[in-house]
Amino acid sequence: MKETILFTLLLCWISVGAANQLISDAPEGAQVYFISPADGDVISSPVTVKFGLKGMGVAPAGTQREHTGHHHLLINLDIESLNMQLPLPATDQVLHFGGGQTEAQIELPTGHHSLQLLLGNHAHVPHDKPVLSEKIHITVE
């Protein structure tokens, strides 16, 4: 019994340590933003999205350097639905640009869409203070 409790405590300690290894700090004032499109734009698909970043550098996923990250594009998604302590999922609503891309062409169906940028670290985990853009709204015709 004593060994089981000690083993369980050890596993918890290792898990907390591993989770902390995935978390990175962002410098004060770091910003991610859209160069284009602009909020309220009416455009056609494919949509060219250009990402901007201030106060940090862009590095591909897997590259662990202080104050760097890579872009994730959130499409029609509320940020509250994401666990900001874990790697971001790769879905139709969370697009990963782990190669360090700063622009992309995306296909969107006709209609209204919200877009938001979120910077992830080497392991696709948002920074301790998330570097998150304002949400913009576009219409695809």
The tens digit of pLDDT for each residue in 7-45 reads 333 333 433 444 446 788 899 999 999 999 999 999 999
Q: What is the pLDDT of residue 24?
A: 87
Q: Read off the pLDDT of residues 52-109 as tens digits, 9 standing for 90 and up.
A: 999 999 999 999 999 999 999 999 999 999 999 999 999 999 999 999 999 999 999 9
Provide CATH code, domain 2-140.
2.60.40.10
pTM: 0.84
Which residue has better confidence, 5 or 75? Answer: 75
Buried b (16+ CB within 10 A) or exposed e, 72-81: bbbbebeeee
CA–CA gap between residue 141 and residue 123 (Å, rounded): 36
